[in-house]
Amino acid sequence: MEVIYTGLRQSPEDIVEAAIQEDVDAIGLSCLSGAHMTLFPEVVKLLKKRKSGDILVAGGGIIPEEDIPKLKKAGIKVVFGPGTPLREIVAFFETAGKGA
Amino acid sequence: MPARKGTAARPRDPVPGLVDSLLKGDKRAAGKLISLIEDDEPEATEALARIHPHTGRAHVVGFTGPPGVGKSSLINRLVRTLRGRAKKVGVVAVDPTSPYTGGAVLGDRIRMADTGVDPGVFIRSMATRGHAGGLALATFDAVRVLDALGMDLVLVETVGAGQSEVEIATRAHSTVVVEMPMTGDAVQTMKAGILEIGDVYVVNKVDLGNADVLVANLKFQLEARDGWTPPIIRTAAIEGRGIDELADALMRHATFLDETGLRKQREIARARLEILENAQRLLARQVEAGSAFGKDFERMAEDVASRRLDPNAAARKLLPTSSRKPL
Amino acid sequence: MRADEDQKALDKELKRWEETTLREALKSLPERRAEFLTTSSRPVKRLYTPLDLAGKTDEERVGKPGEFPYTRGIHPTMYRGRLWTMRMFAGFGGAEDTNRRFKYLSSHGETGLSVAFDMPTLYGYDTDAPEAKGEFGTCGVAVSSLEDMKILFAGIDLRAVSTSMTINSPASAIWAMYLAAAEAQGAPLSSLRGTIQNDILKEYQAQKEWIFPPEPSMRLVVDTFEFGAKEVPLWNTISISGYHIREAGATAGQELAFTLANGMEYVRWGIDRGLKVDDFANRLSFFFNAHNDLFEEIAKYRAARRIWAREMRDTFGAKNPRSWLLRFHAQTAGVSLTAQQPEVNLVRTTVQALAAVLGGAQSLHTNAYDEAYQVPNEAAARLALRTQQILAHESGVPNTVDPLGGSYFLEALTDELEEEAYRYFDRIQGLGGVIPAIRKGFFQQEIANSAYRYQREIEDRERVIVGVNDFVVDEQPDFEVLRVSEASLKAQTARLSKIRRTRDSKKHTAALDRLRKACESDDNTMPFILDAVRAKATLGEICDVMREVFGAYEEPLLY
Ligand code: B12
Ligand SMILES: Nc1nc2c(ncn2[C@@H]2O[C@H](COP(=O)(O)OP(=O)(O)O)[C@@H](O)[C@H]2O)c(=O)[nH]1
Ligand SMILES: [Mg+2]
């Protein structure tokens, strides 16, 4: 697995542009600040605008349980909240990689 | 933190469509084509064949120098400067694949975050994936894609180790060797061969002091080749100092190559290399696909190990019959 | 000679015990594990005795409270005279929301204020900047203008409270807003008490909230030292923070060493500016973590006081004993609090807060049990405050000064931590000092290595974390989710646009121009920032001027 690390404090535009140029299979977004309801859907929206809606978007961070269904509806494939065991996350990306 | 790559089973787009989009300047298509090449997919050959006629416009600049010397930082600044001069710029940045995990964390992009969303810029990270020289096999095919995308310049960052510096010099139009002054009492030693390959030398991190010794040292040792004396540029990438001078030097070198006909010569030299390389690759594939590969191969390995057969003779047995003559 | 003979006798006695009583005991009940480790993976021996304290006299090592080297505390009477300040880190939404929270906490017995700012404010952006999108008030209070600051403290007498503000890169601008708001209340600057965090070095090492490169950032910090010494003499112009270093995964020893190394770097910069060490050293304050391992934490605070006193007196030549004192705020370890079984966090926090009190903290924040989910809701914040009140009024711990002083284990641990710190000081110096070591990624790498080791210990279950890798239950916690209201955001943006519309634009532009010139020159920037604030320049506008002059910082990469 290869991971492109884009650094901290990236705007949705930066992230989408990097994803397209790097032709990634998936984007992992981490947000602990509470801005996930704005920033995560924005990434999906921009991807669609760039005809790249097929790129999988996953998210995690300090995300209240009640926000997860809304995020999924906005096109975030999976959301991992506080306390998720690491192996659960690894397992997800491994199966996602195989197109499951 | 986008993750990637290799195992994906995303539906693949047909090559002709991708190449058409590429030629219209579609970045998504460029990204996908580079992946095909990088993953060594069967479609890559067709894609490259279709792209080839549309390449040859971009001026390719290779950057080499030890890890941490500031190559990514310089490229970031240089991209901005070149954009200011209305040039479209592609970047291919190579990072080492971990020999332990077979994966890689590609970090050059962080240094280039400033320029990421500019429509006239395309940055692609690549992992070495075990290629001994350190330069990703696919790097120069990726350069071709960016050339066809319409980039005026393509900058290639090598990992700066192993054979990569020599390799880059044989592929790029201009090679930039980046060094930095040593701090403290350490004695500055130049890596062997480094003085022969650069068209432009950069002494980066001049903000840290001690640059004069290195510059003098370089000046003393560098010689003109084919009528070109490599300039030595002082930079502080971190502050953006010296970047204009670097851009000027590269433009001067490009003009020099055109005016002396050296560009054509370099292109032909590169073509030779590439033909040979492709031949090697094709042969290797044939051998692998050939019937002798497998059980026979194992038997031969045992024969060689127990000195019943020599490796060269064994290899000849693997080749297609027409090419089995000893060389 | 005499001491030598005592040692020998003790040694003999210990051997006897090991060969008889202990050996018997181990036969019938072997120990639970081969090696016992602290939270920081430091091995702990079975038993500590006076033999572990050989080498230094009690007076050198421990002394008396209120006297050099202050191991036992900075005051002769400690909490018998005055309890620590109960200071709860608070902030969310707009200034009105947080003002209400301050009043709520004060009404429940909080004794000092502590402001948490939201992300845009921490990075020097106004609420209406594109960079601020989605971030308003979620992590703290948004303060973009003097107007916001006035509302934040409306109805709170700034002569009477002490206020701590967790703000770093834009610290001088936020401080200027506070000073101007106090001025507007009629409070003279000389009466104001409080602290700005203003500790930029640990940003590059751990928290990553930098804006500018290290050198201009350090210059801004020293500007506040100089200005504060003259104009706001009771104000702590810095809170040198190990907290963030520890939360990023450092060990107790690293927290101690890096924080004090940073502290000494600030002192050097102050002296290089031409300030006399005794003119500013007494306004330097510290901020440490209170983690799980009770004794290791207490030892850390005691070692910190001793090292600081010695370095200030002997290395920097401070003459005034007040300059030797290491005064510190403590916060319990947020990173130790779990999403699983969140109520259990109350218990963890209690043990951690106990460490801070036994270690002689001057003020304390206790985390709320919903730490892993959100900034605390009202009820959770009150419970956290109650934890401190129980320690203060029910536990009996504050009744005597340094109750654990003289414990063989604690004193040995204190010595060990001190030695570890000096080893780090040498390594940092070997790298050319703090800032070169930052540029080389030294601190970042050391912290990352420790964080990785700790995480491995948990994943491999070498270390038990209740509710995470043992004693697990399957239940979804359920509590009231704190939300920032849309109305607060509207009010805030409306206020900002009104300020931009109605202010005297000539005055405003002129003030920012003067600030730019000051930034480009060697002048102290503080008076110019204060003028800009008075001319209604916003936080973002002030920081933009600085961004233009000082440029941005790029961090070294680690793999
Ligand atoms: C450590 C910490 C810090 C340290 C960070 C040190 C460092 N460099 O790492 C310090 C002390 C510097 C810090 C500072 C601040 N913090 Co803090 N911090 C924490 C703390 C205690 C732990 C975070 C952590 O590292 N957890 C460990 C990691 C592994 O867990 P995680 O990030 O939750 O990730 C898990 C999942 O969420 C998921 N996941 C996360 N991201 C992703 C991404 C993908 C792709 C996937 C698949 C999964 C995934 O998988 C992980 C494994 O389970 C949390 C509270 C807590 N106990 O969780 C507060 C917390 C995150 N901080 C908070 C705040 C407010 C701040 C500050 C803004 C305070 C202020 N006003 O000054 C500053 C801002 C700093 C900054 N500029 O970013 C709040 C956020 C509140 C909110 N969103 O509502 C929290 C929740 C504390 C609280 N209750 O108030 N903090
Ligand atoms: N002081 C100084 N540091 C620099 C300069 N250029 C780059 N750096 C730093 O050197 C480190 C390595 O830079 P990077 O561009 O990643 O190097 P690369 O490995 O050659 O690509 C980073 O921490 C940069 O911030 C410079 O001109 N001066
Ligand atoms: Mg690089």
Token output for C50: 């006076």
- Asked if B183 lies within 8 A of C559 by C-beta distance, the reply is no
- Cβ distance C192 to C232 under 8 Å? yes
Half-sphere exposure of B101 (CA within 13 A, CB side): 10
B·C CB contacts under 8 A = 11
- Which pLDDT score, from 0 to 100, does residue C118 have? 97
> Given a contact as 3+ CB pairs under 8 Å, which chains touch C?
A, B
> Given a contact as 3+ CB pairs under 8 Å, which chains touch B?
A, C
For the CA of A29, the closest atom of ligand 1 is 45
> If you average pLDDT over every residue of chain C, what do you get?
95
If pLDDT is split at 50, 70 and 90, which confidence band does C410 have? Answer: very high
Q: For A35, which of C130, C134, C476 is closest by C-beta distance?
A: C134
Chain C residues within 8 A of A9 when measuring between CB atoms:
123
**Quick one: fold of A13-96?**
Rossmann fold (3.40.50)
Tokens 């961004």 sit at which residue? C547
Task: Please state, as a whole number, how many other Cβ atoms lie within 10 Å of the Cβ of residue C80.
Answer: 12
For chain A, residues with pLDDT lower than 70 are 97-100
Mean pLDDT of C92-118: 95
Map residue B39 onto helix, strand or coil: coil
Neighbour-count burial of C507, counting CB atoms closer than 10 A to its CB (0-12 exposed, 13-18 middle, 19+ buried): middle
* CATH numbers and ranges of domains, chain B: 56-260 (3.40.50.300), 275-323 (no CATH)
Sequence-distant (6+) residues with CB within 8 A of C379 are C480
A94-to-A26, A61, B6, B68, C29 alpha-carbon distances in Å: 11, 20, 11, 32, 46
Residue B7 has pLDDT above 50, yes or no: no
B130-to-B139, B263, B278, C97 alpha-carbon distances in Å: 13, 31, 18, 57
Token output for C261: 């190394």
- Which pLDDT score, from 0 to 100, does residue B4 have? 40
Chain C residues within 8 A of A83 when measuring between CB atoms:
338-340, 372, 468
- Asked if C559 lies within 8 A of B73 by C-beta distance, the reply is no
| Cα A76 from Cα A58, distance rounded (Å) | 6
Nearest protein CA to atom 22 of ligand 2, as residue? C556
Residue B132 has pLDDT above 50, yes or no: no
- Substitution site in C247, C331, C369, C443 for ligand 1 pocket (most atoms within 8 Å of beta carbon): C247
Looking at chain A from residue 37 to 56, which residues have their Cβ under 8 Å from any Cβ of chain B? 50-52, 54
- Cβ distance B199 to B253 under 8 Å? yes
- Tell me the residue length of chain C: 559
Residue B184 has pLDDT above 70, yes or no: no
Map residue C371 onto helix, strand or coil: coil
Burial C422-448 (b: 16+ CB within 10 A, else e): eebbeebeeeeebbebbbebbbbebbb
Q: Which of A15, A21, A54 to mutate to test the interface with B (most CBs of B within 10 A)?
A: A21
- Cβ distance C189 to C527 under 8 Å? no
Query: Can you list the pairs that B271-276 forms with residues at least 24 positions away whose Cβ atoms lie under 8 Å?
Result: B273/B170, B273/B171, B274/B140
Q: For B109, which of A18, A28, A98 is closest by C-beta distance?
A: A18
C289 pairs with which residues across the strands?
C331
Angle at A55 between CA A54 and CA A59, to 5 degrees: 130
Ligand 1 close to Cβ of residue C372 (< 6 A) = yes
The predicted-structure confidence for C86-98, as pLDDT tens digits, reads as follows: 999 999 999 999 9
Higher pLDDT, C202 or B239: C202
- Asked if A83 lies within 8 A of C481 by C-beta distance, the reply is no
Ligand 1 close to Cβ of residue C139 (< 6 A) = yes
C466 pairs with which residues across the strands?
C470
**Quick one: fold of C76-459?**
TIM Barrel (3.20.20)
Beta strands in C181-234 (DSSP E): 193-196
Sign of CA pseudo-dihedral C313, C317, C320, C322: negative
Q: Does C554 touch chain B (CB under 8 A)?
A: yes
Closest CA to C157 of C93, C118, C113: C113
Helix (H) or strand (E) holding B178: strand B174-179
Find the residue in A nearest to C131 (Cα): A11
For the CA of C333, the closest atom of ligand 1 is 21
Task: Please state, as a whole number, how many other Cβ atoms lie within 10 Å of the Cβ of residue C239.
Answer: 23
Q: Which ligand is nearest to the CA of B71?
A: 2
Q: Does C559 touch chain B (CB under 8 A)?
A: yes
- Say which range, B132-146, B150-164, C326-340, C523-537, has the weakest mean pLDDT: B132-146
Tell me the ipTM for this assembly: 0.91
- Asked if B238 lies within 8 A of C559 by C-beta distance, the reply is no
Q: Which ligand is nearest to the CA of C435?
A: 2
Nearest protein CA to atom 72 of ligand 1, as residue? C116
Residue B300 has pLDDT above 60, yes or no: yes
Task: Please state, as a whole number, how many other Cβ atoms lie within 10 Å of the Cβ of residue C469.
Answer: 17
- Cβ distance C284 to C325 under 8 Å? no
Task: Please state, as a whole number, how many other Cβ atoms lie within 10 Å of the Cβ of residue A32.
Answer: 14
- Which pLDDT score, from 0 to 100, does residue C558 have? 56
- Which pLDDT score, from 0 to 100, does residue B104 have? 56
Mean pLDDT of B35-41: 85
B60 pairs with which residues across the strands?
B154
- Cβ distance B22 to B29 under 8 Å? yes
The predicted-structure confidence for B142-159, as pLDDT tens digits, reads as follows: 999 999 999 999 999 887
Ligand 2 close to Cβ of residue B67 (< 6 A) = yes
Cis peptide before C69 (omega within 30 of 0): yes
C555-to-B111, B187, B230, C199 alpha-carbon distances in Å: 9, 27, 31, 17
What whole-number percentage of chain C has pLDDT above 70? 99
Token output for C486: 């849309």
Task: Compute and round to an integer the Cα radius of gyration of chain B.
Answer: 22
DSSP state for residue C419 in the 8-state scheme: H
Residue B6 has pLDDT above 60, yes or no: no
Q: Does A78 touch chain B (CB under 8 A)?
A: no
Map residue C363 onto helix, strand or coil: strand
- Cβ distance C94 to C85 under 8 Å? no
CA of B180 to the centre of ligand 3 (A): 14
Closest CA to B73 of B115, B101, B32, B30: B115
- Which pLDDT score, from 0 to 100, does residue C46 have? 96
A·C CB contacts under 8 A = 42
Residue B37 has pLDDT above 60, yes or no: yes
Nearest protein CA to atom 63 of ligand 1, as residue? C139
Chain B residues within 8 A of A6 when measuring between CB atoms:
1-2, 109-110, 113, 116
Q: Does A2 touch chain C (CB under 8 A)?
A: no
Residue B133 has pLDDT above 50, yes or no: no
- Which pLDDT score, from 0 to 100, does residue B119 have? 82
Higher pLDDT, C340 or B126: C340
Tokens 């989710």 sit at which residue? C481
- Cβ distance C185 to C157 under 8 Å? yes
Looking at chain B from residue 230 to 249, which residues have their Cβ under 8 Å from any Cβ of chain C? 238-239
Q: Which ligand is nearest to the CA of C552?
A: 2
- What are φ and ψ of residue C132, in 5° steps? -90, 0
Domain ranges of chain C: 76-459, 499-550
- Which pLDDT score, from 0 to 100, does residue B142 have? 92
- Asked if B239 lies within 8 A of C551 by C-beta distance, the reply is yes
- Tell me the residue length of chain A: 100
Nearest protein CA to atom 66 of ligand 1, as residue? C139
- Which pLDDT score, from 0 to 100, does residue B39 have? 83
Q: Which ligand is nearest to the CA of C468?
A: 1
Angle at C52 between CA C50 and CA C56, to 5 degrees: 85
- Substitution site in C204, C439, C444 for ligand 2 pocket (most atoms within 8 Å of beta carbon): C439
The predicted-structure confidence for C235-272, as pLDDT tens digits, reads as follows: 999 999 999 999 999 999 999 999 999 999 999 999 99
Report the C-alpha dihedral over residues C97, C102, C103, C109, rounded to 10 degrees.
150
Q: For B8, which of A15, A19, A25 is closest by C-beta distance?
A: A25
Q: What is the pTM of this model?
A: 0.87
Sequence-distant (6+) residues with CB within 8 A of B251 are none
Count helices and strands in chain B by DSSP H and E runs? 13, 9
- Which pLDDT score, from 0 to 100, does residue C489 have? 96
CA of A94 to the centre of ligand 1 (A): 25
Report which residue type is found at C381: A
